[in-house]
Structure 1
Amino acid sequence: MGEIENPYIDTIYRQVVTEHFQSNEWREILINPEGASTTLLDESTLPRSGGHCFKDIPNRFIFWRVLYDKLELVEYSLDMNLTENQVRIHFCDSPVLESGISVHETLESVVLLVPTACSCHRLTFPRPNRLENVNDNVLLDSSIFSNFNVPSIDDPATFYSYNAKLSNPYSAASCLDQKHDAIFIIALQNNVMLYIRMEYISGLPTSKEICQESAVPRMLSNITKVFSTHTENPVINSLVVHPFQQDIYVYSLDNTCELKVWSIDKSIYIYIMDMKKIYAASTENGPKPHIIHKSFDDQLLLTIYLSLSESSTFVVLEPCTDHGMFKLQQKFNVRSPINSRLVDMSLYGNEIWCIWRTGKDTACVKSVNIRNGGWKDCSLDITVVEQSIQYSSNPKQNYLDKIFSSSTYFTNDDLKNAIAVYDTSDDCEFITDYRTKISNVIDTKVAQEMDKYNSADIESQMQLIEQCSVSFYKSCLDYRRKRLAPLGLIWLGSPSFLVVVVTNSSFCFLRPSDKIENNIFSFKNPENETKLNNLLNVLMSEPKSNFNLFLDINMSPKNFLELIRSCYMFNSSDSIISLFLNGCNVLDTVRVLIKMLHADSKIDEDMEDTLYSRCFRSKLGISVVSHSFHQIMVTRFDLCCRLFTFMELNSKNYGQTREYIVDASNLAYSYWIQALFSHDMKLYEKMISSNVLLAREPFMDYIDSLLNYTWPLIDASTLVKFLLQEGQFTFIQQIAQLLGFNKWEETLIISYLLNNDPDKALKILISDLKKNLDNFLKAITLFEKFSYYDHAVKLGNHALKICKYTENKNMTSMFHSNNFLNNLKLKAYRSAYNNILCLEDQDRKLNCLHTFVLTLLENNEKEELMSFNFYGLQSSVEDIVLKKARSLSNVDAYPFYMFLCSIHDKYAKYKKLSMTFYELYLRTDTCVAQEQYLRLSLLYLEILNPNDAWFVTVSLPFFSKTDDVHNGIIQIEHLKKLCWLARARQEIEESTINIDVQSVISILLTKHKYKDVMRLSKMWNLSLCQPLRELVKTCLSLIDSEECDKAWIWLADNGVSGEGIDSKKIAWHFLEKLVNRYEQEGKTLIHYHVADELLRHKSFLPNWIVKTFKERNVGELLQLYLSYGELIHCSDLILELIEKEISSDDTESTFDKTIPVDIIECVIVNLKHNNLQAGDEILNKYKIFCDKIVVQENKMKYF
């Protein structure tokens, strides 16, 4: 295998156990091989496993687990979430030969070769894509197993069955040859190897047996000498098969430590090496078989494990040719560091990784560098049960807290199995509340054992409770240990350089340790003896971690340090410690260690390079990152605690180390915060998911970037901002208490406010005497944002006291403005008003006054607002209210107008009061309100001196213009006219407020409201004749009883009544009354129109009309008669007037000053024309009249 440069090859690896991602739900596939079934293997044996990491797709791998005739296939990725990634294949009664399983990648597919005790299978899956060009926000992909099903595995081209019932196959090897044909080698117990080839496309099988007795050509004389020394019938322990040039070579390692190389084409072995003679001549074989594994990339390497009784050996060989002859060239060999059972080994790059089973469910993992032969331990997760030394009033609760201290330490299966030991009921599968169930199980166990103790002995009872709790906790640990017992290793290589550990029923990881961990894990190595390692040797003399005692986030700094002293106390009388303190100056070494423990809080400059990195972004990848980070933080926290107590001890003995104690305590605070933060895995994983820019490669660089990103000692801004988003307010406040908060004070203040603790936030702000005034403004804004207005006022008052000394007028105004607004929200109106008065900036004062007035009005605090005298600000208040009222709808504006009226009335501003009511009239929506407001406007205008009883009308642009709105001076007369119009509008159903006076009159006429119409027409200088004409028509219509009955209604509407009198007579009398009331003195205009209307309807003129005409303008009456052809009426009237004139001795003419000669002559002509007798009579009388006139005129001339 080509070398993979591992930058951590000299670094100790550490186990990381994540959540239990492997599900209990499998896609089951049952296969019945056609060959004869066998029971060669014991069904109760431990599972075996293997795995494969994809070459071109980083961090994606598959692994398998074999238990008798079941094969479990699982695929995972650290970068993508895979779906349908678990398949379990059951080869019915045909044990899987685990050693022969191999995975091969071709250009199009992934090939899995699986041999069983009676069949060989070639399983083909689609090759996964790199997914480089798809949406980087999509972190979901299908597993290669997602479409795997029974038809695909039952295809005859994919399997071959053989009958090996009598030969009992027990081991196998497989590979793909140069043509991608599947090659299987099956080791049989009769010392025979079965060779099976399955062609690539057709699956056509070919098989043959290869055995020890195969003929050997004489030309191979160089190895014939070796044959004679062999033990008869050796048993093959392990096999490897691989193409070599144009042939297929099989490498078999038997129980005599002989390594044979077989040629498939020749069906003989062509090379043999006595491994025992070379590497362990005087040592017997161990109880376990020898193992041979291959690794191949650019070159084939064979890794051999010789299981020996004293010192087992690892050997790495490289197959090659020397002058055309095959040979195995040694690359490396090393003695095994332990002689326990080897579970698995693999050569990756320049390292051999090994798993040894050291106990029932315990193991150790080591690796060796094949360049220098140095073994390196891996730090595995080991938890031992420790009973509490101190007395506890509730030991059961203590152990329950241990069990549930981490949501990922024990799985549900661990707890179920432990519960099943004590509770044999069948309901374990349906547990939802594990804590309660476990508590009940312990209580039941205690009750069963209580009979052995004295019920009055409380101490014995407490011991029993603790023993039962410890027993259950130990059972949980046992099942966890069993679940995590390692079976196999998978090297993920670049870029993560992680190792996957496949376990009994789960999987975990090995990661490189960071620089601090690596020093801690290797300080006992004699080759690494340095001053730093000597210091670590003293500090870590008792490697027990006590982090579980520091889970209380609410711990005060004082209690925190006291707990550190009690948990990590150094005994000054210890000889090792005394010798170390006395032997050297530790301060330089401590300074180096403190520098190493400090993180770099600066963000990496190349962060943008990983903008769309998908590495470690799957759920599994994030979990590995978070658990690794937590491990490192706990380790560093533990070291800082030890360093703190050690430096305190050194200070007591030597003094002058106070600065180191402070540094150590600050580091302890910082790493405690980090450890607590990452202890909540869900919270920490959310932080990782929301900061994808931090993702980078390799894996440990990612961990370093996370540490730098969240490092709280210098500036915890980044960390606390995330904690604030997640509602971790107590955590934020604890960080502030421990490390200070100057750079993120605003976040701290917000956390107190969100936690409903504004008093502490205010205390922090006021206690800082050097705070900038701008910071106070920001803090006040925060208080306002969270509705803590009283605290904002207190802080504002504090800032104003400071402003007195700085004489900063601008800031003073700003704080007064803020206080004003907050007092207003608190309804402390008097204080708010005082804030307004304190403002020197006139514009700011008016703005605040505007807010003050409108806020009180909107809060319906009219009486409160009226209580202020607004000295010097009355006009401003009036303008504010008026402008606000004009900006609102009629309904919304009403309260503002009413307040405006109240304030005008309070200060006796009657003209403004009248104007306000007039504006209300213009804006009102009803006719009733119109009249009401007009009357009020009129009332207050009449109070004024007549010379002042006027105002200039307002013109509101959003109202339509009507005849009743005067764009000029409004006086009392105008208001009266409008009042009558408003009242008249009320008489009209469905009337609108904007209907003009002509329309009102027209509608009223239809309703026979003649009295109102005449009044309106008179007031508005409109024609009085038309309404009377309508009344004439109505009177003329009273010709039947039905109309007469209706007349009583409209007569009553006009205020006319008369019992026992004919309604027709009353109507005509009403007409006479109106004509006489509204006719001007000495005029006949109205009489004329009434007479004209009567004559138009061929009706006789009432005597009162004729009489008036005779008295005032008889000529007009004659003209009216003549125009309607009433010659008889004309002649009668003329004769009457002439007779009266002739018989009269008065000098005054009956015809007034002007005698209508033309009209009289016209009548005479018409009478003569119509041959009427009255014509001659009138003509004679007219001549006499004329003569009289002439005589009279002569007399007048004579005199």
Structure 2
Amino acid sequence: MDIDNPYMDTIYRQVVTEQFQSNEWREILINPEGASTTLRDESTLPRSGGHCFKDIPNRFIFWRVLYDKLELVEHSLDMNLTENQVRIHFRDSPVLESGISVYETSESVVLLVPTACSCHRLTFPRPNHLENDNENDNVLLDSSIFSNFNIPSIDDPATFYSYNAELSHPYSAASCLDQKHDAIFIIALQNNVMLYIRMEYISGLPTLKEICQESVVPRMLSNITKVFSTHIENPVINSLAVHPFQQDIYVYSLDDTCELKVWSIDKSVYINITDMKKIYATSTENGSRPHIIHKCFDDQLLLTIYLSLSESSTFVVFEPCIDHGMFKLQQKFYVRSPVKSRLVDMSLYGNEIWCIWKTGKDTACVKSVNIRNGEWKNCSLDTTAFEQPTQYLSNSKQTYLDKIFSSSTYFTDDDLKNAIAVYDTSDGIEFVTDYRTKISNAIDTKVAQEMDKYDSSDIESQMQLIEQYSASFYKSCLDYRRKRLAPLGLIWLGSPSFLLVVVTNSSFCFLRPSDKVENKILSFKNPNNENKLNNLLNVLMLEPTNKFNLFSGIKMSQNSFLELVRKSYMFNSNDPIISLFLNGCNFLDTARILINMLHANPDTNEDMQDTQHSRHFRSRLGTSVVSHSFHQVVVTRFDLCCRLFTFMELSFKSYGQTKEYVVDASNLAYSYWIQALFSHDIKLCEKMISSNALLAKESFMDYIDGLLNYTWPLIDASILVEFLLQERQYSFIQQMAQLLDYNKWEETLIISYMLNNDPDKALKILKSDIKKNTDNFLKAITVFEKYNYYEHAVKLGNYVLRISKYAVDKNMISMLHSNIFLNNLKLKEYKSAYNNILCLEDQDRKLNCLHTFVLTLLENDEKEKLLSFNFYGLQSSVEDIVLKKARSLSNVDANPFYMFLCSIHDKYSKYKKLSMTFYELYLRADTCLAQEQYLRLSLLYLELLSPNDAWFVTVSLPFLSETDDVHSGLIEIDHLKKLCWLARARQEIEESTTNMDVQSVTSVLLMKHKYKNVMRLSKMWNLSLYQPLRELVKTCLSLTDSEECDKAWIWLADNEVSVDGIDSKKIAWHFLETLVVQYEEKGKTLIHYHVADELLRHKSFLPSWIIKTFKERNVGELLQLYLSYGELINCADLILELFEQEMSSGDTVRIFGNTIPVDIIECVIVNLKHNKLQVGDEVLNKYKIFYNTIVAQENAKTIK
């Protein structure tokens, strides 16, 4: 048995969503084999039915029949279904709608469809039942059971049976599945014959049997044959039902004589007959419509009978049963119909009978009756109707267009197309995409046609015509909408939603339980519910029109809002009913009850948990139903709050003592107005609902109640405004702030103003609360900074400093100054930022701000601005900041910081620091040219100091590796000069050789024949001077051919040698002589020795200038050099020459000096003798004479 409806005593209310039935159908054409036929006219009207799946909540199918077309649609409130619409066309074979039935088996869904000449068993896969597991948490898409339905599956011979009833005109039918899952069809023919058709489960093998109404009653049932005598001949069956009973199949027929017959298929006779008119009818006349049987089967079979009578139609519920071995129809319930109009559809769900009556063209009413107590209750249907404007419309066309496109009424494309067709019959209607423009043009065309009858300058007539045709078009849209929503059938969804689907002419909608406030409003006129609250509601609802549309404008102040409420919901104190109520009773307690009832309870949503119910209502359809229902609830409550406010205000003005009620009612009105405006934007509301799946509750109305609490803005609107902020609904948030206390969501309000480019209002709000905690102000300043409103952050910071100068601790004051400083810096208000630094008493914070200040200005290329500040007492800190920053950067990035450091040193004449800075720049230079420039500058500023101060000490620097040839120590002018010449020399090699040491530099320069520079560097850096000269000697010796001599001109020019002359070889040897003379120490011959040695090594003659120098300075060294290379003849010649000079001069110190190289001379003589050279005897003899002379001279000196 279905779960009892917990809302059985609650009035249901219609919910119309946007259109979820598209015009795109998968079309399937079937050509039944039987002869075609034509049904009665009424059968060509649209009919419908439906089925809700038993084990899958909120998923349902419905069908709509129009003559020989069957439309099948599946939907779910929990899942989005794909390929869910199929239209089957049984060509020229009208569908017998009353015989369509749906059954669920363990594996499939079976749809039984009888037509006028065929019976079909359509089988679809059973939908998946999503269990409560994590894998399916985010699954919102599923395939419809119709997705794989196609022609081959319907053309399978095992799925259909064709019969020939051309002359018998089938007009009614019934179907079911029996215990074996065989398909059973009963077809009523106009010749008083019923066809029984059975199609076996798997094979589809058919069985056909005719059952005639004149069948003889068995003798065992003769006790009931006496009733036959009163029957008229050939009664026409109005309605059929068929269902297995025990081992048999029973057919229930209700004919136009109000006789309910029960037929046994096995016996082919009827076994029970009941004269319904005799038992239940007060009139013998039938109504204009046929009687109806409706079968309901869950755990038990129940038959609902509708007797259509002229005066008082009746509903009867029977339960077939066996009583003492005899079949019996046991009456469970009967009740008179409350409506005399045509019954369109009825269904028994649980303990309620739901009925649809057609009350007029495209209008209907829906009622339900409780079969336990027989009480009828109405359903509140959508009654959207044209409302005449109460005031002049300045732009009537746009007003009505807004009604069409901006309201929650939702007109479909078909509604608009049909309405446009009334005005515009052009061929392009089917291709319209911009309906607003199309409608506007259609109205303009109509007005232009009518204006031909008026003077073109008659503006008043033109405005009247525009309003007339705009209103007419809106009415036309409403008419087509009403026609589309005319109800055809109902489907009960059961738990957990307890909703009903209303299948309409070309769409579908829903019936939902009303909430507690709605139910009170909808039922207060019920005489059985009379109480004080209903009496109050009766007064409040004297004029029942809901006027929410007057409040659709979002921009309205609190006073304007209340004034509009007073104007729209004015109570006339002279009205006798109102006057009597105010004077007759004390209704304040009742008003308090109503106020408490209208209050939401947001605390109930604090413990939201993910349950299986979180998966309900998550499809687009489900979300739409929830959002539209939520909108209905809050609009209804808003309307009631407005009425209560004006009534309480009237009572206060008349009797006093109700001021608190007026305030409470106004606060409720504010809150519900905000919720109503929010939910009026259905797409926005749907987005919030879909993003908060945890709000889903077990029942639909609990879900709505949860939404009401979740978005309740009166106490704390933080959740709602956060969502609105995400959706950029800034104006909405600001409107809320005009009506409600925004302390709990002030930050969101401030952000909304900023995002709306209105920071002044945000600042005004913050300044308006002087009691705000300083921490909160700091947080607000941070928000201004986040959205780049630095000027407002500064203003707020200065404001806080003024109001809390003596009220907060020094740390907080410093924090505020720091904050203001940072924002001034971002605004490039550098002077103000500098003053903020000076205001800081916390030294650490001051240095931090100074660090930021200096680096920011330098990064912004504000060097001149930065130099304009005197940094009194902070100069050293500034220098340290810049230097540390420079050292942390790459050479390119660091350069501006070094330049500023030099500028600030120069500004305060700190030449030693200037020199140190340039020296550091030299160490970091990337090119040799830069090295030389920085060294020259460092040298320049160091030379400006007094000799005693012209020095500085280098330290270990972070950008120098251990391999760099730079050491910590004292740097003086000479050191800088040496480095300067080295840097210049490196330039002659390559710009990137900045780290090449002096030895390497000289080696490379020698390879390049840069002898002059090498000698200079060697001299400065105390390197060997002879090695470069030896290389030069080799080069000079190589000048033996014209090619080498030509090349010599190049390197001679590189060495700045004057190239006057034509003999490069001679110039080269002269260049060698020049360098030797230049770099030989006075009186020394070391350089001469190495040059001579190199020459002798290459077996070359010594130039005369070398020999001359040796003779003059150290002849013994020359002799030794000659001797070492075996130059005995040269030695002999030199000795003889020296002896001759010495003997002739008589001066023993002029030639040999103080010491005569006797050993060398004797060694030469020995070698001469050894080699038997003739000159050896001569040298020996001259040596003896020289020796004796020298000895005699020495002896004479001794005697004296």
Is structure 2 residue 588 aligned with structure 1 residue 587? yes
Distance 2:120 2:518 in 1: 45
Task: Read off the aligned partner of 1:67 and give its amino acid letter.
Answer: L
Q: Secondary structure at the match of 1:170?
A: strand
| Superposition pairs of residues 921-940 of structure 1, within 5 angstroms | 921-940=922-941
Rounded Cα–Cα distance in structure 2 between residues aligned with 1:931 and 1:533: 102
User: Once the 2 structures are TM-superposed, how far is the Cα of residue 563 of structure 1 from its aligned partner?
Assistant: 1.4
In structure 1, what is the Cα distance between the partners aligned to 2:898 and 2:678?
A: 61
Matching of residue 323 in structure 1 with residue 324 in structure 2: yes
The residue type equivalent to 2:767 in the other structure is I
Instruction: Trace 1:206-285 onto structure 2 (pairs within 5 A).
Output: 206-285=207-286
- Between the aligned partners of 2:455 and 2:617, the Cα distance in structure 1 is 58
Q: CA deviation at 1:831?
A: 0.9
Q: What residue in structure 1 maps to residue 150 of structure 2? A: 149
Matched, 1:791 2:792: yes
Q: Which residue number corresponds to residue 1188 of structure 2?
A: 1187
C-alpha separation in 2, matches of 1:438 and 1:243: 57
Counterparts in 2 of 1:807 and 1:255: CA distance versus 1, 3 Å: closer
What's 2:47 paired with? 48
- More displaced, 467-476 or 1086-1095? 467-476
Letter in 2 for 1:116: T
SS at match of 2:501: strand
Amino acid at match of 2:67: Y
1:1005/1:1030 contact within 8 Å kept: yes
The CA distance in 2 between the partners of 1:101 and 1:162, in whole Å, is 17
Shifted more, 118-127 versus 417-426: the winner is: 417-426
Matched, 1:763 2:764: yes
Please list, as runs of the form range in 1=range in 2, the aligned pairs for 1:365-404 lying within 5 A after superposition: 365-404=366-405
For residue 3 of structure 1, report the CA deviation from its aligned partner: 4.5
Partner of 2:703: 702
Equivalent AA in structure 1 for residue 25 of structure 2 = W
Q: Extract unaligned runs of 5+ from structure 1.
A: none
Q: Which residue of 2 aligns with 1:94?
A: 93
Q: What's the TM-score, normalizing by structure 1?
A: 0.98
> 1:743 maps to what in 2?
744
Tell me the equivalent position of 2:840: 839
Shift of 1:293: 0.7
Inter-partner Cα distance in structure 1 for 2:1154 and 2:624: 126
Report the CA distance between 1:1151 and its aligned residue: 2.9
Using the TM superposition, name which of 816-825 and 368-377 deviates more: 816-825
- Residue identity in the other structure for 2:202: I
Deviation at 1:581, TM superposition (A): 1.1
Offset of residue 446 of structure 1: 2.7
Partner of 1:494: 495
In structure 1, the partner of 2:917 is 916
Measured in 1, the distance between the counterparts of 2:827 and 2:1112 equals 84
Moved more, 534-543 or 193-202: 534-543
CA distance in 2, matches of 1:456, 1:912: 89
In structure 1, what is the equivalent of residue 978 of structure 2?
A: 977
Distance 1:1045 1:1103, change over 3 A: same
Q: Secondary structure at the match of 1:172?
A: strand
Alignment-derived partner of residue 514 in structure 1: 515
| Whole-angstrom CA distance in 2 between matches of 1:386 and 1:845 | 70
Aligned partners of 1:338 and 1:675: how far apart in 2?
35
Q: Which residue matches 1:291?
A: 292
Counterpart mapping for 1:741-890 below 5 A: 741-890=742-891
Shift of 1:1035: 1.6
Contact 1:626 1:681 (C-alpha < 8 Å) held by counterparts: yes
Q: 1:447 aligns to what? A: 448
Q: In the alignment, is the contact (CA less than 8 A) between 1:733 and 1:751 conserved in 2?
A: yes
Root-mean-square deviation (CA, aligned residues, Å) is: 1.6
Q: Does 1:717 align with 2:699?
A: no
Matches within 5 A, 1:518-667: 518-604=519-605, 606-610=607-611, 613-667=614-668
Distance 1:209 1:1119, change over 3 A: same
The Cα shift of 1:281 comes to: 4.9
- Matched residue type, 1:335: R
Q: Which amino acid counterpart does residue 359 of structure 2 have in structure 1?
A: T
Match of 2:80 in 1: 81
Q: Conserved in 2, the CA contact under 8 Å of 1:4 and 1:350?
A: no
Distance between the aligned counterparts of 1:1087 and 1:366, measured in 2?
134
Aligned to 2:174: 173
CA spacing shift, 1:566–1:1147, aligned 2, 3 Å = closer
* Residues 627 and 686 in structure 2, CA contact (< 8 A), matched pair in contact too: yes
Corresponding residue for 1:1175?
A: 1176
Structure 2 unaligned residues grouped into runs of 5+: none
Q: Give the SS at the match of 1:970.
A: strand
Whether 1:72 and 2:74 are equivalent positions in the alignment is no
> How much has 1:1170 moved relative to structure 2?
2.3
1:637 deviates by 0.8
Superposed displacement of residue 857, structure 1: 0.9
Indicate the SS of the match to 2:752: helix
Q: Please state how far the C-alpha of 1:1060 moved relative to its aligned partner.
A: 3.4
- Residue equivalent to 1:28: 27
1:743-800 per-position Cα deviation (integer Å, ceiling 9, x unaligned): 1111111001111111111111111111111111001001111111111111111111
Judged with a 3 Å threshold, the aligned counterparts in structure 2 of structure 1 residues 570 and 454 are, in CA distance, closer, same or farther, namely farther
- Cα distance 1:1147–1:378, how it changes in 2: closer, same or farther (>3 A)? closer
- Aligned counterparts of 1:290 and 1:1176: Cα–Cα separation in 2: 171
Conservation of the 8 A alpha-carbon contact between 1:238 and 1:254: yes
- Offset of 1:959 from its aligned partner? 2.4
**Residues 461 and 1082 of structure 1: CA distance in aligned 2, closer, same or farther (over 3 Å):** closer
User: C-alpha separation between the residues in 2 aligned to 1:460 and 1:1080?
Assistant: 123
Letter in 2 for 1:94: S
Partner of 1:1158: 1159
Deviations, residues 30-83 of structure 1 (Å, cap 9, x unaligned): 000000011224398320000000000000000000000000000000000000
Q: State the shift of 1:407 in Å.
A: 5.5
Q: Distance in 2 between matches of 1:150 and 1:587?
A: 70
Offset of residue 648 of structure 1 = 1.6
How far residue 1106 of structure 1 moved from its aligned partner, in angstroms, is 1.0
Q: Provide, for residues 460-491 of structure 1, a one-character-per-residue CA deviation record: whole Å limited to 9, x for no partner.
A: 54443333222222111110000000000000
- Report the secondary structure of 1:642's partner residue: helix
Cα distance in 2 for residues equivalent to 1:705 and 1:968: 80
Q: Following the alignment from structure 2 to structure 1, what is the Cα–Cα distance between the partners of residues 108 and 1059?
A: 118
Q: Aligned equivalents of 2:1131 and 2:1096: distance in 1? A: 13
SS at match of 1:1066: helix
Following the alignment from structure 1 to structure 2, what is the Cα–Cα distance between the partners of residues 447 and 1081? 122
Q: Which stretch shows the higher mean deviation, 519-528 or 455-464?
A: 455-464
- Quickly say closer, same or farther: Cα 1:656–1:317, change in 2 above 3 A: same
Contact 1:803 1:811 in 2 (8 A): no
Quick check: 1:611–1:693 contact (8 Å CA) kept in 2? Answer: no
SS at match of 1:208: strand
- Alignment deviations for residues 206-240 of structure 1 (CA, whole Å, 9 cap, x no partner): 00100122232212122121222221111110000
State how far apart, in whole Å, the 2-side matches of 1:1030 and 1:59 are. 104
Q: CA deviation at 1:386?
A: 2.8
Determine the C-alpha separation between the residues in 2 that align with 1:778 and 1:866: 34
Conserved in 2, the CA contact under 8 Å of 1:3 and 1:350? no
Change (3 A) 1:1184 1:548: same
| Matched residues, number | 1198
Judge which range, 662-671 or 1129-1138, deviates more.
1129-1138
In structure 1, what is the equivalent of residue 1020 of structure 2? Answer: 1019
Deviation digits for residues 1151-1176 of structure 1, max 9, x if unmatched? 33333333223322322232221122
Q: Which residue of 1 aligns with 2:1079?
A: 1078
1:76, 1:85 within 8 Å by CA — same for their partners in 2? Answer: yes
Quote how far apart the aligned CAs of 1:456 are: 6.6
Partners of 1:994 and 1:606 lie apart in 2 by 71
Deviation by residue 1:401-452 (Cα, 9 ceiling, x = unmatched): 2222326521111111011112111211122222222122222223333455
For residues 912 and 612 of structure 2, what CA distance do their matches in structure 1 show? 74
Partner of 2:118: 119
* Letter of the 2:676 counterpart: A
Q: Which residue of 1 aligns with 2:996?
A: 995
Equivalent in the alignment of 1:17: 16
Give me the TM-score of the superposition, normalised by structure 2: 0.98
What SS is found at the alignment partner of 1:447? helix
Tell whether 2:100 aligns with 1:105: no
State whether residues 964 and 978 of structure 1, in contact with CA within 8 Å, keep that contact through their aligned partners in structure 2.
no
Q: Which residue of 2 aligns with 1:732?
A: 733
Distance in 2 separating the partners of 1:689 and 1:594:
31
Separation in structure 2 between the aligned mates of residue 489 and residue 904 of structure 1, nearest angstrom: 93
C-alpha change, 1:727 and 1:399, in structure 2 (3 Å) is same
Amino acid at match of 1:240: A
Cα distance in 2 for residues equivalent to 1:1060 and 1:264: 144
CA displacement at 1:1021 relative to structure 2:
0.2
- The one-letter code sitting in structure 2 at the alignment partner of 1:465 is I
